[in-house]
Amino acid sequence: MKIDIAEGFDYIPEYNDNRKLPEKEQVVVHFKYLSVEDYTILMKKGKMNKTEEWLMICESIDNLEINKRKYKPEDVCGKKGLAGFYGECYEAFQAKKEIE
C-alpha cells in the first residue's frame, strides 16, 4: 500500500475580503501537520491547549499587517479583533486531511 502524507499546506483566509485582494497582497497562513510526538507534548497537561497547538501548527503568516506592524503566528492569539481570523484559520486546519 502506498500512502502519500502531506507535511502541511498554505491557507488563504476569506477573513476581511482577503481573497479579493491581489495575490501578492493576500494574507497566507502556512500550516504544518503535527507528529505523534508533537501531540504527545500537547496532551501531557491532560487537555489540549489551542494556543499552544496554534503555535505548533502555524509556521508563518505572510502579509498580515495591522497599523503598519507585521504580525507573526505568536501575535495572533493575543490580538483583539483577530478572533474571527484565528477561528477561520484554525477551523481550516482541522478540516484539512494529512492523507488524501
pLDDT for residue 61: 97
pLDDT, tens digit only, all 100 positions of the chain: 887 778 899 999 999 999 999 999 999 999 999 888 888 888 876 777 788 889 999 999 999 998 899 999 999 987 888 999 999 999 999 898 766 5
Is there a contact between 72 and 61 (Cβ–Cβ < 8 Å)?
A: yes
Distance of CA 33 to the CA centre of its chain: 10
pLDDT for residue 99: 64
pLDDT for residue 100: 59
